[in-house]
Structure 1
Amino acid sequence: MEAVAELDVAKLQHRLVEFAASRNWQPYHTPKNLVAALSVEASELVEIFQWLTPEQSARVMDDADTAHRVTDEVADVLAYLLQLCEVLGIDPLAALDAKIDRNERRFPPSESA
């Protein structure tokens, strides 16, 4: 496994493409299927938090078992999102940067803040 400092989105997307290709999964990695899988994984993340109070949810990473589950589900969500971006030709970081720009214009800081 690579050191975290050496990881970037493109490398991770390449690893995911290679992983799927070596298992002949590309025919199943259609935008529709990837969006459905993304939704399922996001729901699994929601399930962990579903009945927690706001205070409990803020401390979810304090329990090692729960922290491991949260981390795995976050990784699954990110993996499917990155695969979807790869298939659709979306640069996820550029898309996020552009969206933040639009939100900054749409929601300017309050003058009272």
Structure 2
Amino acid sequence: MAGEEEVTLESLRKKMAEFARERDWEPFHSPRNLLLALVGEVGELSEIFQWKGEVPKGLPEWGEEEKQHLGEELSDVLLYLVRLSDMCGVDLGKAALRKLELNALKYPVQPCKGSSSGKKHTHHPTSASNSSTEDPSSGGASEEALKR
């Protein structure tokens, strides 16, 4: 049952694979089809917030039914993302951790702290020497920069 077991990306990946296999949906789960389904679910998630304006953390003014609906749509997005990564042969957990490392290089704490502008390290005068670690083709830090 939900909530009684530890949930990991790997456990979700396995459950999604089993779910699709039991229904003979594997032939339809191409990366393209899964991506389009994911985009549709993100649209449904967006509709929940569409006319609400800014909402405070924790959604204190929302009713339980609204929060449950939100949880269902967030889950749809997560499940399609997990399935898409599986069909593409990407370890989503490892990719996310790597991306966090890249972002830590791109957005160092001190120059970026408290700023919503998201300026990269190359925009901060104290980090001008870091510009040589940026890989212009990827929009982020190079593999070499991560090894340093």
TM (normalized to structure 2)?
0.69
Letter of the structure 2 residue corresponding to residue 97 of structure 1: L
Partner of 2:100: 100
- Give me the identity figure in percent: 32
Relative to structure 2, which stretch is displaced further, 32-41 or 59-68?
A: 59-68
CA gap of 1:86–1:5, structure 2 versus 1, over 3 A, is: same
Residue identity matched to 2:90: I
Query: Structure 2 vs 1, CA of residues 112 and 42 (structure 1 numbering), >3 Å: closer, same or farther?
Result: closer
The structure richer in helix per residue is: 1
1:13 and 1:5 mapped to 2: Cα distance? Answer: 15
Q: Tell me the distance in 2 between the aligned counterparts of 1:105 and 1:87.
A: 29
In structure 1, runs of 5+ residues without a counterpart are none
Q: Aligned AA for 1:106?
A: K
Distance of 1:57 and 1:12 partners within structure 2:
26
Q: 1:57 Cα shift?
A: 7.5
Q: Counterpart of 1:15 in structure 2: which amino acid?
A: K
Distance in 1 (alpha carbons) for counterparts of 2:47 and 2:33: 21
Aligned residue pairs total: 113
1:36 and 1:60, CA in 2 relative to 1: closer, same or farther beyond 3 A?
Answer: farther
CA deviation after TM superposition for structure 1 residue 110, in Å:
2.8
Q: Secondary structure at the match of 1:110?
A: helix
**Bigger Rg, which one:** 2
Offset at 1:12? 1.3
What's the RMSD between the two structures over aligned residues?
Answer: 2.1
Alpha-carbon shift at residue 46 of structure 1 (Å): 0.5
2: CA distance, partners of 1:19 / 1:55: 35
Tell me if the contact between 1:60 and 1:67 (Cα under 8 Å) persists in the aligned partners. no
For normalisation by structure 1, the TM-score amounts to 0.89
Structure 2 residue ranges without an equivalent (≥5): 114-148
More relative contact order in 1 or in 2 (CA 8 Å, sep 6+)? 1
Aligned ranges 1:20-31 → 2 under 5 Å: 20-31=20-31
**What is the rounded CA distance, in whole Å, between the counterparts of 1:60 and 1:37 in structure 2?**
30
Aligned partners of 1:3, 1:112: CA distance in 2, in Å? 37
Distance, in Å, in 1 between the alignment partners of 2:58 and 2:6 is 29
Aligned ranges 1:1-113 → 2 under 5 Å: 1=1, 3-55=3-55, 59=59, 62-111=62-111, 113=113
